[in-house]
Amino acid sequence: MRGQLLKLHFSLIITLLCLGGLLTSLIWYNYNVEPHRLSPRKKNPSQLSEPCKSCTKVMDKVAERKTEISEKQEDKPEKIREGNNKAVEQNSETSKKQEDSLQKVKEVIHKAVERYSQTWKKQEDNYQKFRSNLSSKCHGLEEAIITQNNKPVGSEIVYDGSKKTLKVTPELFSIFMKEHPFSNKTLDTCAVVGNGGILINSSCGEMIDSAQFVIRCNLPPLANGYEKHVGIKTDLVTANPSIFNYRFGALNGPRHPFVESLRRYGNSLLLIHAFSFSAYTAVSLRAIYTINDFESPIRPVFLNPEYLKSLLLFWRAQGLRENRLSTGLITTSLALELCNNVHLYGFWPFSNHPHDLHNLTNHYYDDMQAKKQFHAMPAEFDLLMRLHSQGILRLHLGDCPTGGK
């Protein structure tokens, strides 16, 4: 069984590699015609650390294996934002496109700011309707997390990023949470914190921490002076398994640094994307065994791929044309079912600040580039902006008042 799986896995990789090479050249070739093509396939560690922006997109594998080969080509869409650079010198046609794009982005930002500047007021009616619609389709409070209830021994986990399945063995079952941590719960105020550079010097820490429930993405840093701007309280933090690979040596060596790094999140829930791609499962399990062995207080749980599938259908029906959702949208969706008041911070997919257009780093803690924030993110952001305008949730794009809510 295992041997067969391995074989399958191997041939899949070979196929993906070939396909990948082909895709790279195709995409590179087509880039000038249709830059959007690039968006759904890029995946590298920097992007994975792009939590509440876009974490897990399709074709992980292909892209991961091709990252090095295609780094140069992949850089191109980024350059759109950058104006003067080699690409411009090399190709004036590209340069024109880039300028157009820059102009377009400015327009988009301008529009967003305009929409945002209207006074926000919660529209209870809209909120209730939206929430009951979302709940009836996705059942996040029962299904978002894998539990011993929704995945009994012998049942199958169907990956949402591949066609693979995994049978629940007694061993696997034993690490599932007994009951859904959110069932029958309604919280008052939740803050979902994206990691965007817009949080730098925002003074939003206090306001974020005043929420009853704080959700963060992909194990972000909280100390070193960031507290003031991003807060420190954490009730749920997500982890894309790729972070275990690139930050903690796939947990094959010393595991103490990993456990240490979890300390700052206290006994929050650690929500792991273990079942999107089968390549992530083993390292996720190592993370959980490490947490258990070191008796870390953090409570690891698995994101349920079935929830992700229904969520994707839900958002697609709302107009989103994506194959995978960002972690930011997943956690926001969960918050919309769980909390009466949902506040979003650090969600801003553009590289310029909405107010004075100053350059922003990609994250509040680094400037690792996510290659396709241009294409994928604004679509999601547009949806969030719509919910903001409808008074269903509240986006925070500016600096926060200090000394009180």
Please identify every residue annotated as catalytic. Answer: 375
Interface with ligand NAG (CB under 6 A), residue from 314, 341, 390, 399:
314
179 binds ligand NAG (CB under 6 A): yes
Among 178-186, 265-273, 290-298, 384-392, the segment contacting ligand NAG (CB under 6 A): 178-186
Q: How far apart are CA 251 and CA 401, in angstroms?
A: 41
Long-range contacts of 70-74 (CB under 8 A, 24+ apart): 70/24, 70/28, 73/24, 73/27, 73/28, 73/31, 74/38, 74/42, 74/44, 74/371
Q: Which of residues 329-388 bind ligand NAG (CB under 6 A)?
A: 359
What is the signed CA dihedral for 330, 179, 215, 164, rounded to 10 degrees? -40
- 267's tokens: 């006994």
What minimum distance in Å lies between the beta carbon of 184 and ligand NAG?
A: 4
Q: Which of residues 26-65 bind ligand NAG (CB under 6 A)?
A: none
Among 18-26, 176-184, 187-195, 272-280, the segment contacting ligand NAG (CB under 6 A): 176-184
What minimum distance in Å lies between the beta carbon of 149 and ligand NAG?
A: 9
Per-residue burial over 76-94, b = 16 or more CB atoms within 10 Å of its CB, e = otherwise:
bbbbbbeeebebbeeeeeb
What minimum distance in Å lies between the beta carbon of 201 and ligand NAG?
A: 4
267 binds ligand NAG (CB under 6 A): no
Residue (293 or 366) nearer to ligand NAG, CB: 366
Closest residue to ligand NAG using C-beta atoms = 317
What minimum distance in Å lies between the beta carbon of 271 and ligand NAG?
A: 19
What minimum distance in Å lies between the beta carbon of 51 and ligand NAG?
A: 20
227 binds ligand NAG (CB under 6 A): no
Residue (110 or 316) nearer to ligand NAG, CB: 316
Residue tagged 């919309």 (tokens): 336
Residue (63 or 342) nearer to ligand NAG, CB: 342
Residue (84 or 117) nearer to ligand NAG, CB: 84
First to last CA, the chain: 57
What minimum distance in Å lies between the beta carbon of 7 and ligand NAG?
A: 40
Q: How far apart are CA 209 and CA 216, in angstroms?
A: 11
Asked if 230 contacts 199 with a C-beta cutoff of 8 angstroms, the reply is: yes
Q: Which of residues 186-225 bind ligand NAG (CB under 6 A)?
A: 200-201
Asked if 280 contacts 312 with a C-beta cutoff of 8 angstroms, the reply is: no
* Residue 104 DSSP one-character state: H
Q: Which of residues 132-151 bind ligand NAG (CB under 6 A)?
A: 133
SS3 percent helix, strand, coil of the chain, rounded to 5, is: 50, 10, 40
What residues contact residue 125 under an 8 Å CB cut-off, 6+ apart?
Answer: none
Among 157-165, 236-244, 292-300, 313-321, the segment contacting ligand NAG (CB under 6 A): 313-321
What minimum distance in Å lies between the beta carbon of 256 and ligand NAG?
A: 33
- 354's tokens: 């909405």
* Residue 186 DSSP one-character state: -
The amino acid occupying position 103 is Q
Asked if 273 contacts 326 with a C-beta cutoff of 8 angstroms, the reply is: no
Q: How far apart are CA 167 and CA 255, in angstroms?
A: 28
Interface with ligand NAG (CB under 6 A), residue from 15, 90, 183, 267:
183
What minimum distance in Å lies between the beta carbon of 142 and ligand NAG?
A: 9
Residue (32 or 359) nearer to ligand NAG, CB: 359
Interface with ligand NAG (CB under 6 A), residue from 17, 28, 37, 82:
82
Interface with ligand NAG (CB under 6 A), residue from 317, 323, 355, 367:
317
39: left (phi over 0), alpha (psi -120 to 50) or beta: alpha
Asked if 387 contacts 393 with a C-beta cutoff of 8 angstroms, the reply is: yes
Among 115-123, 310-318, 329-337, 368-376, the segment contacting ligand NAG (CB under 6 A): 310-318
Give residues in contact with ligand NAG (CB under 6 A): 82-84, 129, 133, 179, 183-184, 200-201, 314, 317-318, 359
